[in-house]
Amino acid sequence: MKLQQRQLSLWKMNVLLGAILGFCLLSACSSGGWSTTAPTPTPRQRPEACSEPSGPGSPPLTPTTLATIQQAYWCLFDHYVTGKTLDDRLVLHGALSGFIQELLRRNRDQSMAMLPVLNGNRQADWQAFSTMYQKVSAALPQDASLQQALAVATMQGMVQSLNNDHTRWVRQAPFPGSLRKQFPHGAAYGLGMITSASGATGSLPEAHSPLFLIFVEPGSPAALKGLQPGDIITAVNGIAPFANGQLNMGIMSWLEPAIPQDIQTTPSSVQVTLTRPSTEQRWTVSLQPTMYAPPPMVAARVLDNSIAYIHLSGFLPNAATLVSQAIEGLKLGSSLRGIMLDLRSNGGGAPEGVAGLLGAFVHHKIYSYDIDRDGKRIANQTNDTIPLLHQPLVVLTDRRCVSACDAFTGAVRDLGLGTIVGTRTGGKVSGPAALYQLNDGSAFVIPSLSEVGARGELIDGVGVPPDYHLPLTAEALSAGQDLDIEKGIRLLQA
């Protein structure tokens, strides 16, 4: 799941790590009384099927065409978790919405950009959409950048219609060799700060004023300009973050820019005005998105002379080994009295990482169930080859703890493995996803399984609530206080 969207490892690894995060249950694939069954067309009516990559690296990118959109359309029915019952009208209306939004944005609206009433027959409905798309496209200037932008918007609209953050379309230029030498272990991109409104896959809908920094990544543009946790953002490019209590999403797109298709393009700088509560300092700083070395996956330190504090930013398959090694490196020995596992802003990762890390605290337990396209439940079990730590556990969570992080936290709650402190997790969970190549060199990331918790409960869209609800505040962070950590210490001292 992202490990985060900013992460830029080698192309295939980046996409797959962003794909296998956690487990998701989609329930929005039928609406308004539409029938959820549709006839399957014969093979001769179908385009070349999408397929999993056959080798390392990514193929060269070519223009995204109507044929690409058609291939993606059928790819969803073949592989998506609810593809067997997915209503094509939902998908095509999403594609049309994206297409029209791009026409409007470019002041190119066309009267032909409408669909007839669709009837739920996947092939016939596609033909209606294809005919409309071709007519509108032919009426527009045959400018390559315009046609590509319309195709991109159509693909994105199709994906967004599913309301599933784990289904993604990835069209990204290969990581240049020069940058690979500079960042051999992958790179991060952006300004390098996480705010109180940052979500794992966008902005938090419940965000409220003030907008303040939760974390500043070392070596990032924000860190190099001296920004600190607790700093309050009062304006971005002269615009206030909130208006009438509503977050300005344009502000967040400046603060958390997407990775450009050409990652060597020089982006525009962002003017950020801030206030520091601890000193009442007010100033404006110019920040330019750039690439920088990502923070380590695991960071550790000793709290209260006896507690192992471990911050885990993502669930790699060997997460248990990384955590165990970090604890051993603290050299607490017999004085170790507990483990505080900080999963705040953990973007998820591999299911193997969840099973392994849970195996460090309990053996012989089912921690969740995958549900396949036919409704069959498949038990996910702890990795019992991992040595038990035999230590009390406190887990710190927030709304940026998603996917595999959701799944791990849910298992801690269900299996009674420890105490959860902070705020509710993000509730963005999906079954293991696969990568499918499309004919323009881009790829679809599609989950074929959904998941529920150990007790059969739904986590996707809901999240896991903490035992102690302690939201972070700008004033406390600016003063160097972390209320979640302080509560965790008290719990482990008891």
CA distance 405 to 460: 12
Q: What are the φ and ψ backbone dihedral angles of 63, each rounded to 5 degrees?
A: -55, 140
Instruction: Write out pLDDT tens, residues 212-253.
Output: 999 999 999 999 999 999 999 999 999 999 998 899 988 999
9 falls in which pLDDT band (50, 70, 90)?
A: very low
* pLDDT for position 177: 60
What residues are paired with 232 via a beta bridge? 212, 275
Task: Please determine, for residue 182, whether its predicted confidence score (pLDDT) is greater than 80.
Answer: no
Task: Please determine, for residue 95, whether its predicted confidence score (pLDDT) is greater than 60.
Answer: yes
Task: Please determine, for residue 353, whether its predicted confidence score (pLDDT) is greater than 60.
Answer: yes
* pLDDT for position 183: 64
- CATH class of residue range 188-292: mainly beta
Average pLDDT, the chain: 88
Task: Please determine, for residue 35, whether its predicted confidence score (pLDDT) is greater than 80.
Answer: no
175 falls in which pLDDT band (50, 70, 90)?
A: low
* pLDDT for position 203: 81
Amino acid at 20: I
* pLDDT for position 16: 40
Task: Please determine, for residue 4, whether its predicted confidence score (pLDDT) is greater than 90.
Answer: no
Order across the sheet with 366-371: list the strands.
377-381, 366-371, 450-453
- Classify domain 298-430+451-493 by CATH number: 3.90.226.10
Task: Please determine, for residue 268, whether its predicted confidence score (pLDDT) is greater than 80.
Answer: yes
The fraction of the chain above a pLDDT of 70, given in percent, is 87
Instruction: Write out pLDDT tens, residues 478-493.
Output: 999 999 999 999 999 9
* pLDDT for position 260: 72
Task: Map 70-100 to HEC letters.
Answer: HHHHHHHHHHCCCCCCCCHHHHHHHHHHHHH
User: What is the residue extent of each domain of the chain?
Assistant: 27-163, 188-292, 298-430+451-493
CA distance 79 to 50: 9
439 falls in which pLDDT band (50, 70, 90)?
A: very high
* pLDDT for position 181: 63
Please tell me which of 14-18, 21-25, 374-378 the model is most confident about, judged by mean pLDDT: 374-378
* pLDDT for position 103: 97
Tokens standing for 199?
């979500």
* pLDDT for position 228: 97
Mean pLDDT of 439-467: 94
Instruction: Write out pLDDT tens, residues 310-349.
Output: 999 999 999 999 999 999 999 999 999 999 999 999 999 9
Task: Please determine, for residue 15, whether its predicted confidence score (pLDDT) is greater than 60.
Answer: no
Q: Which of 308-312, 318-322, 430-434, 461-465 has the lowest mean pLDDT?
A: 430-434
Residue scoring higher pLDDT (199 or 102)? 102
The dihedral region occupied by 165, where left means phi > 0, alpha psi between -120 and 50, and beta the remainder, is alpha
Instruction: Write out pLDDT tens, residues 270-305.
Output: 999 999 999 999 999 999 999 899 889 999 999 999
* pLDDT for position 342: 98
430 falls in which pLDDT band (50, 70, 90)?
A: confident
Say how many C-beta atoms besides its own lie within 10 A of residue 203's C-beta: 18
CA distance 464 to 426: 8
Mean pLDDT of 443-470: 94
200 falls in which pLDDT band (50, 70, 90)?
A: confident
Same CATH topology for 188-292 and 298-430+451-493: the answer is no
* pLDDT for position 431: 82
CA distance 415 to 365: 8
Task: Map the chain to HEC letters.
Answer: CCCCCCCCCCHHHHHHHHHCCCCCCCCCCCCCCCCCCCCCCCHHHCCCCCECCCCCCCCCCCCCCHHHHHHHHHHHHHHCCCCCCCCHHHHHHHHHHHHHHHHHHCCCCCCCCCCCCCCCCHHHHHHHHHHHHHHHHHHCCCCHHHHHHHHHHHHHHHHHCCCCCCCEEECCCCCCHHHHHHCCCCCEEECCEEECCECCCCECCCCCCCEEEEEECCCCHHHHCCCCCCCEEEEECCECCEECCEECHHHHHHHCCCCCCCCCCCCCCEEEEEEECCCCEEEEEEECCEEECCCCCEEEEEECCCEEEEEECCECCCHHHHHHHHHHHCCCHHHCCEEEEECCCCCCECHHHHHHHHCCCCCCCEEEEEECCCCCEEEEECCCCCCCCCCCEEEEECCCCCCHHHHHHHHHHHCCCCEEEECCCCCCCCCCEEEEECCCCCEEEEECCEEEECCCCCCCCCCCCCCEECCCCHHHHHCCCCHHHHHHHHHHHC
CA distance 419 to 470: 13
